[in-house]
Amino acid sequence: MKRLLSLAVLGLGLAAPAFADLALATSKNCMSCHAVDRKVLGPAFKDVAAKYKGNAGAVDMLAAKIIKGGSGVWGPLAMPANTQVSEADAKKLAAWVLLAR
Ligand code: HEC
């Protein structure tokens, strides 16, 4: 029983961050322009993850772009600055985006 319980806790521990950061992304308005699996105004997060796979600097680079906005990587549209996002949250979001598939 104890063993089962700790397995359940482990399972939750692994699954929870994905949901937590989708909730964060939703609360920061990211999901009005993005989806995990398809292009909306901005690129699908799974495409972003594939593009920067194995790129060690990607979390910091994307976190900065999430806050400041920018253009020219995915098409003609620019991402406006998301100044409501703290640096810590931007890093969390960037790390979460990079795990999308
Ligand atoms: C008003 C629409 C809009 C909102 C809101 C928005 N984005 Fe974007 N996002 C875009 C567009 C458009 C691009 C493509 C920019 C480009 O081509 O360089 C983009 C690009 C990105 C990229 C890839 C950047 C790159 O250089 O490859 C990431 C990561 C990203 N957005 C994350 C987020 C997160 C996290 C949020 C919420 C804090 C967010 N976006 C909110 C429109 C938006």
Whether residue 41 contacts residue 77, with contact meaning beta carbons closer than 8 Å, is answered with yes
pLDDT higher than 70, residue 20: yes
Neighbours of 42 (CB within 10 A): 18
Residues 6+ apart with CB under 8 A from 24: 89, 92, 93, 96
Q: Please indicate whether residue 6, judged by its CB atom, sits closer than 6 Å to ligand 1.
A: no
Residue nearest to atom 16 of ligand 1 (CA): 71
Of residues 10 and 44, more confidence is placed in 44
Short-list 71, 75, 69, CA closest to 90: 69
**Mutation test of ligand 1: which of 30, 52, 55, 79 has the most ligand atoms closer than 8 Å to its C-beta?**
79
pLDDT higher than 90, residue 7: no
Question: Which ligand 1 atom lies nearest to the CA of residue 32?
Answer: 5
pLDDT in tens, 26-69: 999 999 999 999 999 999 999 999 999 999 999 999 999 999 99
